[in-house]
Each structure stands twice: as C-alpha cells, then as structure tokens.
Structure 1
C-alpha cells in the first residue's frame, strides 16, 4: 500500500483516484468543490481540507488541475505541495500545462526535495474510468521507474519520453492530432448527412479502414446523437491548442491546419460553448454548412 494524495478531483482526477483506492492504495483527495471529495470518500478514499493536509503523509502526490496557473497555485507557496510534502515524495503532475512551466516547476520541486514527473494523460473520461489512459512522462528515469506501480493503475500505455517538460510537449502534439481528427470527422459526418447516407453504417465501415481512429470510435456516435455532454471540455482543448500554437511559434514550426482548428475551437469558446465536449466542434461545422 502507498499513501497517495490526489489534488484535483474533476472529470479525470476523480476516476483516477477511485482506481487507486480500488488497487489497495491509501488515497487522500483534495478538491475545491467538496462534493467531489465526498464522492472519493464514498468510494473508500479519504478527504482533506487543504492541499497541505492532503500531502503531509503522502509518498506520491498526483495533481490533476486545469491549467498552468492552477498547477503553480497548488504546488508553490506556504500551503502548497513543495512546502508540505515529505522529502523524497514523488510528484506526478497529470495536468496538461505549458512545457516551459513544467520544466521550471520541476527545478523548484527538486530544490524542495521532491521528485517531479510531468505525466499528462490522453484517453478522456472513459480512459480514466477504465484505467487505460495513455501517459507520456517527462522527468528522471529513476523517478519514472519509482512511479511505475502507481501509473500502472491509471494507465495502459505508459512511456518515458525524456527530461522534465517532455511529457507536456508530447501531450501538446497529442492535442493537435486529436483536434484535427475531431474537425475532419465532423466535416465527414455533415458531408455524409447532406447526401442522406446511413451515417451509422458509414462510420462502421470507415472505422474498419485507414480512416479509423479512436476519435472516430469515441466521438462519432456523440456527433450522430448530438450528445455533447463533456468528457473533455472545449474550453480545455482551447487552452491546449493555445499551448501548442505558442510552442510551435517559439520553435519556428508551421502548423497551418492546427492553427485553423485552434481558431474554430476558440470561436466556440468565445460564443459560450466552451462547456461542451470537444466533439461539439461538430455544431460549428453544421452552422457553417447552413444545416
């Protein structure tokens, strides 16, 4: 049994914490919304009133919060992870944040005696619930090995991709690919519907060929059903596309298709649809097509 603190019990963090409880670990959670803490307690975990309380006895601290400023808020300062976790504790940040921020916070963590790993995840809420997330990990190889048992509970494909910040760089590339796939899937469905094709049958056969993808498998039916209950919100994908477009500019890399999709996602967020699942990009394609 390992003492694990989970900071951030949202759509992804709560099922990850529950899976850790079910694997036999002693899990203490903290979240700004107490209802999420209550859900963890109902599943056999423990609740804490603050970040400091949650991490004080933890061997592993897992953070899963929305953005770079949120991560900085929970790890720095007198009430944060760095000031209150035990020396030698592993800090696994599963949030999706800027690579430069991840690298900078890793330096601060080591200065505080904490072992940092940036370990953003892909797979959405279904992957978190089923414990089959893809996890791209940046940090020291020995720390990665030490985290293997915990990461193995919440993920299936777990790869060390380089030094601190590398996990976030790979996650940015992941979000670029996913957004492009969602946009093209939405365009394909609107195109098929315009011709009166049996779209369900069409997606079945497309999924069996080169056009097949996890995006098609997980998001195609949501588009057909016009069901955009969030598994991953557009506002978060908008944040991630901001990360990748800024990082691409810094590296001198051109991402023309990614930039277009980033603008489309941004327009939905700006007009009040940021709370939709990112498959809700379909609604914009429909409107642009006059349908």
Structure 2
C-alpha cells in the first residue's frame, strides 16, 4: 500500500458515512462509494469520488474497505452476506468497520474475514454529524497493532483523536461506554434545561456559564444551540442511540458491571422512541423531560 494514497471502498454513505467518504477524497484517497440509495452515491461523485452500483463493484480492486452502516444486521449483510465484501474483496484487503455494533459481531466478522485472507479493524467513532463533516471524529480502534498503523493515514482524514484501544472487539466496547456517557450527559442537560426554564432563568446565559465550568462538556458545546432552538434535526437519531443502549446494557451484564444510572437512561431513550421521537436527534431527550413536566411538545 502507498503510504499516502489508498484505493478505498466506502460502504454506507448516510449522515456519518457521506461526509467521512468526502473527507477521504479531500485527503487525496481514491474513494469508491456504495449505498442503497443512489442519491448518496451521486453526492460523493460530486465531491470528487467514484460511484458503484454494487458492493462487488466497489470492493473488487480496493486496498481498504470501510463499512459505516446502522447496526449489526446491516454489517452482517454487507460483509458476510451473499454478494458482500468477503465474497468479492481480494486477500490482504484491510476491512475497517466503523459502524457501532456489538463486540461479538466484530469478532464474528474478524473470524470470517481471516478465513478469506482479509485483515480487520473495528473502529467506531464519536462526534456526530458535525464531527464527521469537520473531520474531527474520535476513533476508537480494536485489532492488530500493525493493521492499526497501516490504517492511520486513512483515520487521519476522518478524526482528530485516534486511539488503538486493544484487540478485536475492544473498539466496540469503548464505543459502548461512549454511548453510555453521551446518553447520561444528554439526559442531565435535558433535566437542567427544564429546571432552569421553570425557574425563570435566562437559558442562553445559563448554558453559557455552565459550559465554562466543570459542568461543561462536548455534549453541551455541540447540542447547546439545538436545545435553545428546539431544533432536533438528526445528527444522531434516537433510534440509533436506543440500539446502542441495548449494546452497552448487554455488554455490561456479560462482564458483571452495574449500570444503575445507565439502565434508567436506557429506559428514557426507549420511552422517547415509543413517543415517536426515534427519528429525531438524541438531544430530543429534552422532549421527554418536557412531557414529564406537563409541557406540550411539538
């Protein structure tokens, strides 16, 4: 592989994958994208990438294959399924799954890939749509250290915090912990907002000063304006965070780790979804607290 430019197949050009693939093009890589909806492929082509009509076409001559799809079933379909990555990628190809899935599925993908002569990394990300667009994602990587080193030029086009966290599956374990913390932060922000508004405090001023103190967080910095505007256009959908809370709950149970606060927040995320908010940004957990406060939500 060239140290600077790679032939990359990018499978999954959604809210996160689309801008990530575009950033790889900007960094000088040759990127061929595949997505179920053609519009996303056309957007990548407009950004200087290439388009494919099938996974087979996308991966046939790729040095690196990146998958960025919603959940475990989609990873299994595009990687392990008929017409998938393992059926068409050449031996020696580096497969990087950047989806958020269970550690068990990452291990299953790695085992199947090794049987075909491919190398794998699980490399989920944090930072949301804004982080994907700006190329400042946090990337937590599980797998062989040599494969991680080989992939670093690719990761550097996508993120600003790039850390090898352990063997295969470790990236997904760290991502589960990330999603646990993000959900708790969002819920605490939502509760603080309703508390402040009910008390008659200037919310914009309050969030500004809170952001500069110990209560400050990336969650507050990224979601402050959305909360002030009640603009819940999805950067990361509640549906997906609901899936992730299931992953962390199951993983924590498997290792005997208690999640007393996390378990409660997982129920609140599920409640938001049951109220029809699944397609909204996860900052819309605020709507759940507003409902508990007897406020109408729109």
Sort the TM-score into its range (normalised by shorter chain): over 0.9
Identify the residue that residue 90 of structure 1 maps to in structure 2: 94
Q: Distance in 2 between matches of 1:151 and 1:114?
A: 19
Q: State the Cα distance separating 1:71 from its structure 2 match.
A: 0.3
Q: State the Cα distance separating 1:61 from its structure 2 match.
A: 0.4
Residue 246 of structure 2 corresponds to residue 242 of structure 1: yes
Q: State the Cα distance separating 1:235 from its structure 2 match.
A: 0.1
Gaps of 5+ in 1: none
30, 33, 54: which one pairs with 1:29? 33
The correspondence of residues 24-63 of structure 1 with structure 2, limited to 5 A, is 24-63=28-67
Q: TM-score, normalised by structure 2?
A: 0.96
The correspondence of residues 272-287 of structure 1 with structure 2, limited to 5 A, is 272-287=276-291
Report the more deviating stretch, 232-241 or 218-227: 218-227
170, 194, 197: which one pairs with 1:193? 197
Residue 169 of structure 2 corresponds to residue 165 of structure 1: yes
Structure 1 contact 185–220 (Cα < 8 Å) conserved: no
Q: Distance in 2 between matches of 1:31 and 1:275?
A: 20
CA RMSD of aligned residues (A): 0.7
Q: What are the Cα deviations for residues 153-208 of structure 1, in whole angstroms up to 9, with x where unaligned?
A: 00110000000000000000000000000000000010000111111111111111
| Matched residue SS, 1:96 | coil
Q: What are the Cα deviations for residues 104-127 of structure 1, in whole angstroms up to 9, with x where unaligned?
A: 211111111111000000000010
Q: What are the Cα deviations for residues 230-274 of structure 1, in whole angstroms up to 9, with x where unaligned?
A: 000000000000000011111121101001110011111122210
Identify the residue that residue 127 of structure 1 maps to in structure 2: 131
Gaps of 5+ in 2: none
Equivalenced residue count is 291
Identify the residue that residue 255 of structure 2 maps to in structure 1: 251
193, 212, 215: which one pairs with 1:208? 212
| Matched residue SS, 1:147 | helix
